[in-house]
Amino acid sequence: YVLILDFGGQYNQLIARRVRECSVFCEVKPHTMGVEQIRERHPIGIILTGGPASVYGEGAPSCPREIFELGVPVLGICYGAQLMSHLLGGEVGGVQNREYGKAEIQYLNSPLFEGIEKQGVCWMSHTDQILKLPQGFQATASTATCPYAAMENAERQLYGVQFHPEVLHTQQGTEILKNFLYRVCGAKGDWQMRDYAQRSIAEIREKVGDGKVLCALSGGVDSSVAAALLHRAVGRQLTCIFVDHGLMRKNEGDEVEEIFQNQFGSNFIRVDAQDRFLSRLAGVADPETKRKIIGEEFIRVFEQEGKKIGRVDYLVQGTIYPDVIESGAGEAAVIKSHHNVGGLPDYVDFKEIIEPLRMLFKDEVRALGTELGLPDSLVWRQPFPGPGLGVRVIGAVTREKLDILREADAIFRDEILRAGLQREINQYFAVMTDMRSVGVMGDERTYDYTLALRAVTTTDFMTAQWARIPYDILERVSNRIVNEVKHVNRIVYDITSKPPATIEWE
Ligand code: XMP
């Protein structure tokens, strides 16, 4: 077990993720944790994270000096290293040019750098740096502007790095962390997602006791995994409400129902609210208004069902770590209002929210889902916006357009699967445009809808490239859709990246 003390840096959860990737269990805790509490947890190693402060700044976050006397190996990263230096009698100060970005680095002999190239590239992001080492320390790496890019007191098992090994731009960064965990801390590296599941289940059980838990299922990966975890923990104390807004892809609602009702046997309630959503959306063409209506209606339906159940003690949310960062940013302009992140309306009477996935990244959520026995078809489901097909029918939403879109989208997805491109392309779907054009079919003039195909490759969905789908596959998709789906006579392929376009059309 490795303890990560958080000093507010932007990469802190990334450190935790890298540690988990090395199959070592870890926890991120606030830097204010007392030394007695730390001792009780028996960590085999402690990592001090980066942070935006300067060690001399007013109210600068700190930690007890005794941490360095526990006989437990400590690794300070960026601010963590500066703080270590400061607390142990070294000197820290501003540099003239703050260093940000990639830097050439020279590693010396150190357990941290064993087995890695002595010359490499690292990621720097700092204004202060260590100017004078504390007594008993020596420099173990340097860059052109940073003579103490790494320091250590091997005897006391104290290590500091000015750069960020957790960021992928630092070549060999994972190796460096691995060296700290395996060589210095003696970690066995036998932690698995199964252990995470077991621990979460135990924690949830303890917290919930014999209380009642309510979960809103959307059919997406995150809420499904959260529900499966809660079900494993508290069984029939959990009730899942699946609001079927009629804006899901072909067969998706039935699939969700089948998995949760049959496989988990939980108290599962599917609310068929299709008519309600369609009548509220009738004639509404503005994308933001549509999003707001769908979001509000969702809450209203959930509220009504929730009231039937009566008082519940806990509400489960499938918030994952990237949602936490995005909604915490606050400064960014609202490009699209995502209805499933951010504020929570007080729609049901409950005492607390449980967010069991709050610390996990998407791929870890998937691994957990598999561990919990969810099928691949659900675990590997591509991202799907909360407002569903409501924002993939351009302009006013009608039942007819939704049906056309569902059929065309199913064909597109089927062909991508057949071509084995489903993991290479990160998101792919059809869009029902608001445009009709003239065509000819069997000597007859047609005047029908234009359907667009959208497919992108991306890692974070913040930026994306349009996918280079081979022409023959596009051709097959086009032929099949025009032949098999009524009222579509033209297919176009979207070749814009994000930015300037977004992934979804609305
Ligand atoms: P855009 O269209 O903004 O989409 O480039 C980025 C990613 O977010 C998904 N998306 C949503 N996800 N609720 C969600 O959970 C929403 O309201 C929503 N809108 C867009 C989109 O599918 C893409 O993966």
The string of pLDDT tens digits covering residues 481-490 is 999 999 999 9
Query: Does the pLDDT value for residue 327 go beyond 60?
Result: no
Q: What is the CATH number of the domain that holds 40?
A: 3.40.50.880
C-alpha to C-alpha distance for 480 and 410, rounded to whole angstroms: 11
Q: Report the residue among 504, 505, 506 best suited for mutation to probe ligand 1: largest number of ligand atoms under 8 A from its CB.
A: 504
User: Which of 99, 152, 166, 175 does the annotation list as catalytic?
Assistant: 166
Number of domains into which the chain is organized: 3
Out of 157, 184, 211, a domain closes at: 184
Residue 500 lies in a domain: no
Residue 498 lies in a domain: no
DSSP state of 435: E
Element (H, E) at 287: helix 287-309
Confidence of residue 352 (pLDDT cuts 50, 70, 90): confident
Is 275:328 a contact under the CB 8 Å cutoff? no
C-alpha to C-alpha distance for 173 and 424, rounded to whole angstroms: 26
pLDDT at position 33: 93
Separation of CA 127 and ligand 1 centre (Å): 35
Same domain, residue pair 135 and 83: yes
Give me the mean pLDDT over the 183-202 stretch: 93
Same domain, residue pair 251 and 340: yes
Separation of CA 404 and ligand 1 centre (Å): 22
pLDDT at position 346: 52
Q: Is 104 marked active-site?
A: no
Cβ–ligand 1 distance for 336 under 6 Å, the answer: yes
Residue 279 lies in a domain: yes
Residue 32 lies in a domain: yes
- The full DSSP string for 93-161 is EEEEEEEEEEEEEEE-S-GGGTTS-SEEEEEEEEEEEEEEPPTT-EEEEE-SS-TTSEEEETTTTEEEE
Same domain, residue pair 479 and 408: yes
Query: Does the pLDDT value for residue 356 go beyond 90?
Result: yes
Query: Does the pLDDT value for residue 340 go beyond 70?
Result: no
Same domain, residue pair 21 and 92: yes
Give residue for tokens 């006391």: 156
Cβ–ligand 1 distance for 383 under 6 Å, the answer: yes
**Closest residue by CA, ligand 1 atom 10:** 385
User: Which of 22, 26, 63, 78 does the annotation list as catalytic?
Assistant: 78
Cβ–ligand 1 distance for 338 under 6 Å, the answer: yes
Same domain, residue pair 346 and 408: no
C-alpha to C-alpha distance for 43 and 154, rounded to whole angstroms: 18
Element (H, E) at 28: strand 26-30
Same domain, residue pair 106 and 206: no
61-82 confidence digits (pLDDT tens): 999 999 999 999 999 999 999 9
Separation of CA 230 and ligand 1 centre (Å): 26
Same domain, residue pair 79 and 100: yes
Whole-prediction pTM? 0.78
Cβ–ligand 1 distance for 461 under 6 Å, the answer: yes
Same domain, residue pair 278 and 427: no
Q: Is 484 marked active-site?
A: no
Q: Which amino acid is at 443?
A: D
Apex 416 CA angle, 411 and 419, nearest 5: 125
Out of 184, 215, 236, a domain closes at: 184
Separation of CA 117 and ligand 1 centre (Å): 41
**Closest residue by CA, ligand 1 atom 24:** 383
Out of 184, 201, 219, a domain closes at: 184
Q: Is 231 marked active-site?
A: no
Cβ–ligand 1 distance for 369 under 6 Å, the answer: no
C-alpha to C-alpha distance for 427 and 409, rounded to whole angstroms: 12
Same domain, residue pair 451 and 468: yes
Q: Which amino acid is at 103?
A: A
Same domain, residue pair 156 and 41: yes
pLDDT at position 326: 55
Same domain, residue pair 422 and 458: yes
Residue 502 lies in a domain: no
Selection from 170, 50, 191, 26 nearest residue 102 by Cα = 170
pLDDT at position 262: 84
Same domain, residue pair 94 and 210: no
Half-sphere exposure of 190 (CA within 13 A, CB side): 2
Query: Does the pLDDT value for residue 324 go beyond 80?
Result: no
Residue 243 lies in a domain: yes
Residue 384 lies in a domain: no
3-state secondary structure of 334: coil
* Residue 45, strand partner residues: 2
pLDDT at position 423: 86
Residue 307 token pair: 């009231």
**Closest residue by CA, ligand 1 atom 7:** 461
DSSP state of 455: E
**Burial (CB count <10 Å: 0-12, 13-18, 19+), residue 54:** middle
Domain that holds residue 477: 392-493
Give residue for tokens 């003690």: 313
User: Which of 86, 164, 245, 339 does the annotation list as catalytic?
Assistant: 164
Q: Which residue has the higher pLDDT, 207 or 98?
A: 207
Residue 336 lies in a domain: yes
Q: What is the CATH number of the domain that holds 366?
A: 3.40.50.620
ipTM of the complex: 0.97
Q: What is the CATH number of the domain that holds 420?
A: 3.30.300.10
Cβ–ligand 1 distance for 385 under 6 Å, the answer: yes
Separation of CA 339 and ligand 1 centre (Å): 10
Separation of CA 247 and ligand 1 centre (Å): 15
How many other CB atoms are found less than 10 A from the CB of residue 328? 9
In Å, how far are 16, 41, 59, 99, 240 from 315, measured between CA atoms?
26, 29, 36, 44, 10
Cβ–ligand 1 distance for 220 under 6 Å, the answer: no
